[in-house]
Structure 1
Amino acid sequence: MTHIVKHLTLVTPSAPDGGPSAFELAVIEAEMPVITAELDLLDAEITALDRPPNELDERRLRRARRRVLAARRALANSFTFGEAA
């Protein structure tokens, strides 16, 4: 009796053992301002969920949204032809 397992080929390649490449680490580092701004926005939104938002909460939400947009714009402008700046 022959086993079918011997004849199967891998459909997905095995995961690399070396971890992220230098380019991937550079991309993550470049995206950190956006991630931080989005976390600040999420914090502001969670705070506003607990109670009706007052003037201070609305101002905090507006500022957080502006920081996210500014960080995204800076990230988009820093990439040229798929390379991290």
Structure 2
Amino acid sequence: MSHIVTVQEAVTAFADWMEPTDAELDAIEQEMPVIEADIDLLDAHIATLDRTPTELDARRLRRARRRALAARVELTNLSVPFSGVGA
């Protein structure tokens, strides 16, 4: 008979004393508009899973897609330094 044993590292990997660093929290805060836009897009998709999408549903999906794309573009523009034209 083989015994099942827990691996100590896996058990302590999520200990209470292990908190995110300030840099990690700042990164999460910076990505929050993208996360929220993706949640809205997912909500719009979920709302249309069990029925044929209406025109209102289609508008909601388009609006959510545009918002998600705009949030990603803004995050990308914040993280990529501007090099200037012809530089």
SS at match of 1:19: coil
Alignment length (residue pairs) = 70
TM-score by length of 2: 0.71
Q: Which amino acid aligns with 1:57?
A: D
Aligned to 1:22: 22
Aligned to 1:10: none
Q: Which runs of 5+ in 1 are unaligned?
A: 1-13
SS at match of 1:50: coil
CA distances 1:25-81 after superposition (whole Å, capped 9, x unpaired) = 100000100000000000000001121001000000000000000000011111146
Q: Which has the higher contact order (CA 8 A, sep 6+)?
A: 1
Which protein shows a greater Rg? 1
The two structures, once aligned, show a CA RMSD in angstroms of 2.2
Q: Which runs of 5+ in 2 are unaligned?
A: 1-11, 82-87
Q: How far apart are residue 22 of structure 1 and its match?
A: 1.0
Identity percentage of aligned residues: 59
In structure 1, distance between residues paired with 2:41 and 2:50: 15
TM-score by length of 1: 0.72
In structure 2, distance between residues paired with 1:18 and 1:47: 37
In structure 1, distance between residues paired with 2:40 and 2:77: 22
